[in-house]
Amino acid sequence: MEAGIFLLYSLFAINDKDIKNFLVEANKHNSIEYQFVKATSCKTGMYSGSYVLAPTNKVILKQKSNDGSVGNLCDKK
């Protein structure tokens, strides 16, 4: 369900600045694969070299790194 909402939002908001920034950062990886994570409060923006897209101020999907790990959510290091 959440993935469907995310997909629909992405399709209709493709011209949105946040969507464009998210896609630029996502394309820096060898492959694009996501994993569901525990819903975490977060705001859309740049975090630790990756771009977080949180239109509802919650993150439920996290892109896996090139090594297959998920890493921290919304980490401002």
Confirm if 29 and 66 have CB atoms less than 8 A apart.
yes
Give the chain's mean pLDDT: 76
Residue ranges per structural domain of the chain: 2-63
The per-residue pLDDT for 41 is: 92
Tell me the sheet residues that pair with 47.
50
CA 76 to chain centre: 15
Residues 36-61 have pLDDT tens digits of: 988 889 898 888 777 788 888 998 88
pLDDT tops 60 at residue 14: no
Report yes or no: 32 and 10 within 8 Å, Cβ to Cβ. Answer: no
With 70 as the cut, is the pLDDT of residue 12 above it?
no
Q: Is the pLDDT confidence value at 77 over 70? A: no
pLDDT band, very low/low/confident/very high, at 8 (cuts 50, 70, 90): low
